[in-house]
Amino acid sequence: MTVERRVIGVVGMPGSGKGIVDDVAKELKFLVVVMGDVVREETARRGLESTPENIGKMMLQIRKEEGSAVVAKRCVAKVVESESRCVLIEGIRSLDEVKEFRRNFPSFRLLAVHSSPETRFQRLFKRARSDDSASRGIFEERDGRELRVGIGAAIALADHVIVNEGEIEQFKAEIRRFLEPFLRE
Amino acid sequence: MTVERRVIGVVGMPGSGKGIVDDVAKELKFLVVVMGDVVREETARRGLESTPENIGKMMLQIRKEEGSAVVAKRCVAKVVESESRCVLIEGIRSLDEVKEFRRNFPSFRLLAVHSSPETRFQRLFKRARSDDSASRGIFEERDGRELRVGIGAAIALADHVIVNEGEIEQFKAEIRRFLEPFLRE
């Protein structure tokens, strides 16, 4: 390839709005690679049901088996095989993954999306009340699993942060403002 | 006390602009407690010079000696002794500290300030070039020290994020917009 690829990674806690970033990127004709899909594919390949719990456990399991950057490595292969010049990789969970992407794509940029825990809880458990301790437990367990993999450090070292607390259209506009310049580079 | 205290914690990587949050909070008559001052006081008390390196090591040392929430505990004592209704605690570094504050101040809110690593590097090493590897090394070592204590998880779970990439006056205005409602509660 003579033209350098533009690769953007997305990191964010569950319920922060990463899926909306995917949607906007697809509209802009980015190739979108969802890191969770690699884990979902592996979960299915091993004959397990695709429940959030099984996928969460598989995320930890394959890291244990093949190292902390295993999912990133499989995504790099997907990107390299593709013909796309602008790529968005969604679902980064650690600095080891960030390093893997930077090593392969020198102009790699890391975008973090942030929503408060309260907002994320409301989005993920629409009918739950704040004092619904079962839902709270599931929510905090899921957050904890992500944090143990090291998602916090990746968020802390993001090149750009978009806050997703208000209207969805405003959030989408901010994502577009961030992504569009990469198309013109 | 009959009126509940309003306590806001601030978390941010080195060079993200926490000191400016302190300045704005002081202008608004908040009591400002800087967690780093507790570590600086301890460094001096043990007869060590207040170099960034010694303070960084002391931060890890007293956590090892008295537990991960030791600095938070000393700050809680300072707040409780004070007469102030609105308090800003700057320099949170882990979720253990956040838990300690929430346990003592039920309406505790966590504010994260974010700047990109490149922006923070430029601010902290004004005369350095990006390829100045000695400065880069010091910068990344300091980031690493903060991340190992767990600052990333605290940033990931912040209730509110303010991005500090542009003009300082705009950053100050956003801080004011966030802090002022607490004065009226």
Contact between chains at A157 and B117 (C-beta distance less than 8 A): yes
Q: What is the dihedral of CA B63, B67, B71, B77, to 10 degrees?
A: -160
| Residue pLDDT, tens place only, A48-81 | 998 888 988 898 899 899 999 999 999 999 999 9
Closest-CA residue in chain A for B152? A152
Instruction: Dump strand ranges (E) for chain A.
Output: 6-12, 31-34, 86-90, 109-114, 160-163
ipTM, 2 dp: 0.92
The C-alpha atoms of residue B89 and residue B59 are separated, in whole angstroms, by 16
Give how far B92 is from chain A: nearest CA, Å. Answer: 13
User: B132 Cβ partners below 8 Å, 6+ apart?
Assistant: B125
Q: Which of residues 67-86 of B touch A (CB under 8 A)?
A: none
pLDDT of residue B33: 97
Residues of B in contact with A160 (CB under 8 A): 116
- Residue A130, pLDDT > 80, answer no
Instruction: Look up residue A150 and give its two tokens.
Output: 């090291």
| Residue pLDDT, tens place only, B65-107 | 999 999 999 999 999 999 899 999 999 999 999 999 999 999 9
Residues of B in contact with A147 (CB under 8 A): 95, 152-153, 156-157
**Mean pLDDT for chain A?**
93
pLDDT of residue B1: 47
- Residue A1, pLDDT > 50, answer no
User: Which string of b and e fits A99-112 if b means at least 16 CB within 10 Å?
Assistant: ebbbebbeebbbbb
Closest-CA residue in chain B for A118? B159
% of chain A with per-residue pLDDT over 90: 83
Confidence of residue B3 (pLDDT cuts 50, 70, 90): low
- Residue A107, pLDDT > 50, answer yes
Q: Does A44 touch chain B (CB under 8 A)?
A: no
Which one of A116, A147, A161 has the shortest CB-CB distance to B114? A161
Give how far A47 is from chain B: nearest CA, Å. Answer: 33
Closest-CA residue in chain A for B112? A156
Confidence of residue B130 (pLDDT cuts 50, 70, 90): low
Which one of B13, B112, B156 has the shortest CB-CB distance to A151? B156
- Cβ contacts from A onto B, under 8 A: 60
